[in-house]
Chain A
Amino acid sequence: MENIALIDWSRAQFALTAIYHWFFVPLTLGLSFIVAIMESIYVKTGNVVWKEITKFWMTLFAINFAIGLATGIIMEFEFGTNWSNYSWIVGDIFGAPLAIEGIMAFFMESTFFAVMFFGWDKVSKEMHLFSTWLVAIGSNLSALWILVANGWMQNPIGMVFNPDTARFEMNSFFDVLFNPNAYSKFLHTIGSGYVMGSLFVVGISAWYLLKNKDVVKAKKSIVVGATFGLITSIFLIFTGDESAHEVALNQPSKLAAMEGLYDGHRDVGIVAIGMLNPEKQIGDKKEPFVFEITVPHALSLLGFHDTDAYVPGINQLIYGDPKEGIEPASDKIEKGKIAISALKEYKEAKKADDNATAQKSLVEFRANEKYFGYGYLKDAKDIIPPVALTFYSFHLMVGLGTWFLALFFFVLYFAMVGKLDKQKLILRLAVLSIPLGYLAGEMGWIVAEVGRQPWAIFEMLPVGMATSQLSVIAVQTTFWLFAVTFTALLIAEIKIMITQIKNGMEEH
């Protein structure tokens, strides 16, 4: 029996942890490489100004790294405490990348972090630089394994369902690692971290220029940040395209929600700017948009690399479209129920040593296995994620990404022609863009995770079947405890960072 309150509070708790975790991670991913490049310039040129610049940004990196770690560990524990059914059913697959992350990346990252932060006068310049690069690579490898696990949740491949244990088991590690959703997600996520790191460096350096403080170091930092940001923003366009292509192929319900597409057809445009009709309900005849500006052909082209490609809408995914070979969701639910009951019969027959019935049930189960997860859904409309949240998050993320690209371009241009100090508006916009970077990153995760609903593992396991059997009050209590703790950590991080920044680059 599903307990809606428990599911929603468990969802809320995990979302809270993930949102707070993502306040810290992107800066770690991006700033680690920026610091490594700055230190490389120091080692190559021997100019001590670059050592001071590196040490300044490294201190900010270290504050962020330490606090980010706490939220990450809590998230991993939540798989056991709040999502024990999920961990039981897919632990064999999901556990592998997480274990590799712990062994390979975490140890590498933590060990060399100590050398990087405390070893300036204890190891040679080259060894120190090597450690800084390994911290950057280690942080990003951490992200790789987490995103391989997440990519598998979006597109579960490389596994089989074992009816005897009622668990999914991995049968190809390389399929899990080379899953298109894994690499596209990894590259898009680290790319967003690089942009965030760049916005942070550019924004804080812009603040120094506005205050006329540490001007030379700020100018040098801004060139590093803006160059890194500009190149990685361009990279983000390509990885975003690949990510959207994979969503189009494997998660049509997410794509339909991202675009507010109710009625699918061929040659579909993309909504550049639009406002959804709040009155619109699935299945009614109301217009989906209050207003919209559409780029013709673009959704078919970006999603399927063909301007004439068919893109199914929400209505086709729910009610089916025989012409395009799309089954109604209600049929999938029925087949899923047959799979569930066949599995139950199989287990009972096995228990009773009735091999003939067990064999017959197993054949029936395998024939409907693909729809197993659908059997737990109550209504065909449940297959569609929340449209408004997914749509606005996606469009806000894309809009902000475009703004960051323009910002990096103008900042770099004026820095290179030596006129950046006079561009007060651009400098102010650069400072204001720091929180926008965080917002864009959070929006990206909302698209990925809210867009995956109602599934914990896409089309395999609904979120409702993944939770632990806890009391609602226990989850509510820990939710508020985490909310207070994480907020305190975030405030602490911001305060420490502001103090360091106000001290200036000279202090380090």
Chain B
Amino acid sequence: MEEINYINALLWYASWPIVIFICYKFIMLNIKHLEENLESKDKNNIA
């Protein structure tokens, strides 16, 4: 019977919420950058 490496399995399972968190953080960062760009574009258009 195969020996299960529980720590390894737990680490792999733990990567799921970590990936979601990384996605969330990067999306927040990119959205902030995009909204700044859109705002400055709007200002340029008005000017």
Contacts and interface: CB of A to CB of B under 8 A. Distances in A.
B23 A220 contact: no
**Listed residue (B4, B20, B33, B41) with the most chain A CB atoms within 10 angstroms of its CB:** B20
- Interface of A, helix, strand, loop or mixed by DSSP: helix
Contacts of B22: 231
Given A178-B9, A416-B30, A157 B4 contact: yes
B4 A180 contact: yes
Given A44-B28, A238-B15, A416-B33, 15 more contacts: A37-B23, A140-B16, A155-B2, A178-B10, A179-B4, A180-B9, A220-B35, A223-B27, A223-B30, A223-B31, A228-B27, A231-B23, A232-B19, A415-B34, A416-B37
Contacts of B2: 155, 157, 250
Interface stretch (A182-190, A436-444, A495-503): A182-190
A418 B27 contact: no
B2 to A, nearest CB: 5
Contact of A40 (B9, B10, B24): B24
A187 B27 CA distance: 21
Interface in A172-202: 174-175, 177-180, 183-184, 186-187, 190-191
Contacts of B37: 416, 418
Given A157-B1, A157-B2, A224-B31, A190 B16 contact: yes
B27 A227 contact: yes
A70 to B, nearest CB: 27
A356 interface: no
Interface in A194-241: 216, 219-220, 223-224, 227-228, 231-232, 235, 238
Contacts of A367: none
Contacts of B33: 416
Contacts, number: 78
Nearest to B34: A223
B24 to A, nearest CB: 5
A140 B19 CA distance: 13
Interface residues of B, number: 28
A178 B6 contact: yes
A178 B31 contact: no
A131 B35 CA distance: 27
A101 to B, nearest CB: 16
Interchain residue pairs A-B with the least CB separation, the first 9: A178-B9, A183-B12, A227-B27, A231-B23, A235-B19, A228-B23, A223-B30, A223-B34, A227-B30
A415 B30 CA distance: 10
Contacts of A412: 30
6 contacts: A157-B2, A157-B4, A174-B4, A220-B35, A231-B26, A418-B41
A216 B31 contact: no
Contact of B4 (A41, A175, A190, A238): A175
Given A178-B10, A231-B19, A41 B28 contact: yes
A416 B10 CA distance: 36
Contact of A227 (B10, B12, B26): B26
A228 B12 CA distance: 19
Contacts of B6: 174, 178
A110 B29 CA distance: 32
A179 B4 CA distance: 7
Most buried by A among B6, B30, B37: B30
Given A37-B24, A157-B1, A187 B34 contact: no
Given A157-B1, A183-B13, A219 B34 contact: yes
A113 interface: no
B12 A242 contact: yes
Given A220-B34, A223-B31, A178 B23 contact: no
Contacts of B13: 183, 186-187
Nearest to A190: B16
A37 B30 CA distance: 13
Contacts of B12: 183-184, 187, 242
